[in-house]
Amino acid sequence: MSFRKTLQLNNGKTIPQIGLGTWLSGPHEVENAVVWAVEAGYRHLDCAYVYGNQDEVGAALKRVVPSVVQREELFIHFETLERRASSLGTPYLDLYLIHWPIPFVPGRGLLPERADKPGHVEIDTETSLVDTWKAMLALRSTGKVRALGVSNFTVQHLEAIIKATGERPAVNQIEAHPLLPQDGLVEYCKREGIHLTAYSPLGNNLHGKTKLVDYPEVKEVADRLGATTAQVLVAWGVYRGYSVIPKSVQRDRIVSNFEQIALSKEDYEKISDIGKNNHVRFGTPMSFAPK
Ligand code: NAP
């Protein structure tokens, strides 16, 4: 069973420690994935407009709210507010994030391409991150968002928006796993009271490299504990005190990823050693299309 632990945010709200990721959960996959997850006990869902599957997530929510859970029991993040009501069918978001610290030119769709450089996104060089953060802060009075956060922000990005507004994000969602521990950023956020959510906790990679779930070090610990390698990687993130959002569209994995195990200090360190002098970042926008 999951420990069902919740963690405190700096706005007084709480966030369930284990959530379900929905990136790359394709059509006819994500609706069932969300339903199975909620049935298995997940109460924290990570969604994003750019994942293009919000209608199916919304359909899944209709299947489980209120028959399995009340809306208030769920913690939902999303990265587009305007469409949340029509697509997700929820009157408010628990967390609203700036997805990446890079603005694209407005009014030309999700991924506006550069006329002079096809295949590349056109960056908005007029709008600063501080402008965006101020616009986010102004949404608090609407009652449509319970908490505001950011994603893929570095220490420098965080320092800049905090210095300009005096307002800390409740959450920074970042790629974090044994191959990318981001110790400095984790330490900074802890010190500043900014909750961290780790994405790609299983070391999802689209680069054809060995998956973390297949690393012999992870397998050795998993076999010894009678656990799956994914459970070991989720537990590695939990050990570090933040929330973790593994994605799966397979029912057995959705269920088992949520069945928590605890790591000893020795096993935590053994898994951490994988990333010593071997850092790998999988989520690099320069490898997306358009770049
Ligand atoms: P992940 O959760 O680390 O890994 C997902 C991959 O692992 C999928 O291929 C999944 O396949 C597989 N998997 C799941 N459970 C498994 C198990 N028990 N054993 C073996 N393989 C397993 O990667 P992620 O999707 O990149 O990250 C998680 C979530 O974080 C995303 O879905 C998204 O919600 C969020 N995210 C946010 C950002 C951001 O910029 N803010 C960026 C990336 C991701 P199956 O589905 O076939 O099981």
Q: Is residue 236 pLDDT above 90, yes or no?
A: yes
Closest residue CA from atom 9 of ligand 1? 204
- Give yes or no for a cis peptide into 66 (omega within 30° of 0): yes
Distance between Cα 130 and ligand 1 center (Å): 30
Can 188 be counted among the known catalytic residues? no
Note the pLDDT of residue 80: 64
Note the pLDDT of residue 81: 62
**Under DSSP, is residue 121 helix (H, G, I), strand (E, B) or coil?**
strand
- Nearest ligand 1 atom, CA 256: 18
Which residues lie across from 97 on neighbouring strands? 149
Ligand 1 binding pocket includes 178 (Cβ within 6 Å) = no
Question: For residue 269, how far is the Cα from the chain centroid?
Answer: 24
- Nearest ligand 1 atom, CA 48: 34
- Exposed / middle / buried, residue 12 (Cβ in 10 Å: 0-12, 13-18, 19+): exposed
| Residue 285 banded pLDDT, cuts 50, 70, 90 | confident
Strands 6-8 and 14-16: antiparallel
Determine the average pLDDT of the residues in 167-175. 98
| Residue 59 banded pLDDT, cuts 50, 70, 90 | very high
Most ligand 1 atoms within 8 A of CB, residue of 25, 247, 250 to mutate: 247
Distance between Cα 205 and ligand 1 center (Å): 9
Q: How far apart are CA 42 and CA 187, in angstroms?
A: 27
Determine the average pLDDT of the residues in 7-24. 95
Does the annotation list 99 as a binding residue?
Answer: yes
Q: Are 237 and 19 in contact (CB under 8 A)?
A: no
Q: Is residue 200 pLDDT above 80, yes or no?
A: yes
Q: Is residue 194 pLDDT above 70, yes or no?
A: yes
Q: Is residue 85 pLDDT above 70, yes or no?
A: no
Q: Is residue 252 pLDDT above 80, yes or no?
A: yes
Which residues lie across from 14 on neighbouring strands? 8
Q: Is residue 48 pLDDT above 80, yes or no?
A: yes
Q: Is residue 211 pLDDT above 60, yes or no?
A: yes
Q: Are 206 and 216 in contact (CB under 8 A)?
A: no
Distance between Cα 134 and ligand 1 center (Å): 31
Cα distance between the two ends of the chain: 41
Q: Tokens 């060089």 correspond to what residue?
A: 125
Q: What is the phi/psi pair of residue 289, to 5°?
A: -120, 125
Q: Is residue 210 pLDDT above 90, yes or no?
A: no
Q: How far apart are CA 211 and CA 203, in angstroms?
A: 6
Q: How far apart are CA 157 and CA 265, in angstroms?
A: 32
Distance between Cα 161 and ligand 1 center (Å): 29
Q: Is residue 255 pLDDT above 70, yes or no?
A: yes
Note the pLDDT of residue 147: 96
Closest residue CA from atom 4 of ligand 1? 204
Determine the average pLDDT of the residues in 178-184. 97
Determine the average pLDDT of the residues in 257-273. 97
Note the pLDDT of residue 55: 86
Closest residue CA from atom 30 of ligand 1? 199
* Catalytic residue of the set 42, 49, 51, 268: 51
Determine the average pLDDT of the residues in 225-253. 98
Closest residue CA from atom 23 of ligand 1? 200
